[in-house]
Structure 1
Amino acid sequence: MKQFEHVLAEEFPVMYRDFGLDAAARAALDRYADELTQWMSGVAPWHAQTRRYREEDLKRHRAAGGTGGGRSAPGSAPPRLGVTARGRARWARVALGAPPGSMDKSAPCVQLR
């Protein structure tokens, strides 16, 4: 937050001058910066209170063997279900009003890929 406040106080005026921004452009950027300030003042307490960001929970997950990389670690992708084109067509017909289990070719169908 302090770095953001520094940017607003010290670097915005330099940017305004360097780019020759008129009063309307400056006002628009000031409004946007004010909205960001308000958002950060609300989200900071949330981050401080949620368990997701507590040090003891982060350490517990690391100790359990987590990679810290989310689902991007090799071998962590969910298995493919192998839905066939016929199965996709059946689901499309059901979604468009055909009775479940119906293979009525006259029912509306969309092609899903």
Structure 2
Amino acid sequence: MEISTCTEKMVQIIANSTLEKSLKKTLKEVGVSGYTLFDVRGDGDSGDQSGHLEGDSNILMMVVVPLKTSQNLMEALNGYLKKGHHLMVFSVDAEVLTPSKFG
């Protein structure tokens, strides 16, 4: 049996939880219809993010979108960096079993 898949982009955004509302608005503005959100902990350039204190917790947002939408999203996220926000953004090709609603 042959399985039909399509290639899209998976964009992962790690940011301080205080940016959650703003990031959700940005996703909507660039045409992202859905996302997955996790509370995450870690250690890196911005220090230990344990999640024990307000402002000391991070979120991970994951979206799967067509290439054009991912480019628009990356451009919008770059605006956060220019304003001095600390984000870690990854974009990778994803083989998707369920095609995007954006066609």
So what's the TM-score if we normalise by structure 2?
0.22
**Higher RCO structure (Cα 8 Å, ≥6 apart):** 2
Q: Which one has a larger percent strand, Structure 1 or Structure 2?
A: 2
Give the structure with higher Rg (CA).
Answer: 1
Write 1 or 2 for the structure with the bigger share of helix: 1
Q: TM-score, normalised by structure 1?
A: 0.21
